Amino acid sequence: WHSRRLHVPGAASGLTLGRGYDMKNRTNAQIRNDLLAAGVDAAHAALIAQASGLTGDRAEDFIQDNDLEDFEITPQAQLKLFQIDYDWHASDARRLATKPDVTRRYGATDWDALHPAIRDVVIDLRFRGDYSPRCREILQSHIVANNLQTFAGQIGKKTNWPSVPKDRFERRRNFCQQALQT
């Protein structure tokens, strides 16, 4: 689910815009710069950046207190903000997959040579916050081996992903299965 309006998906979430641009763990400067790069006007970018670190009710109150209930970004700004956010998560997924402690434990990942389906799912895992140490225990050896068959097998085991919503689990599983067919 995504929206071009400011919203707070849950009590642990920050102020969110577009396809998951959550401001909870972002600095004021990062939010402002990202919004400006996406095409949001300077006044709104500066105001919204003040929501840095807010979560739950405090983030909801921020929307009301600043009369932002009707604020909406354009479809183009939404896409650009998603691209900015996706690029950040892709870079962070790469960092996590190749950091020294992960390499020592599981072996070296050749990120640039990864099967595109493995790379896309790892980025999605990071995007949703699922690419955790526990996740790496399940998947990293298959990522290092660049083995789509065994990677897809682990992605498709529901017991590995108890906190992942059913729809997201099924999309990941089906994506891997389709990649195996091509």
* Model pLDDT, residue 19: 85
pLDDT single digits (tens) 10-58:
899 999 999 889 999 999 999 999 999 999 999 999 999 999 999 999 9
pTM: 0.85
Chain mean pLDDT for the chain: 96
CA distances from 83 to 40, 51, 77, 100, 163 (A): 14, 21, 10, 28, 26
Q: Is the pLDDT at 136 greater than 80, yes or no?
A: yes
Rounded CA gap, 86 and 66, in Å?
A: 28
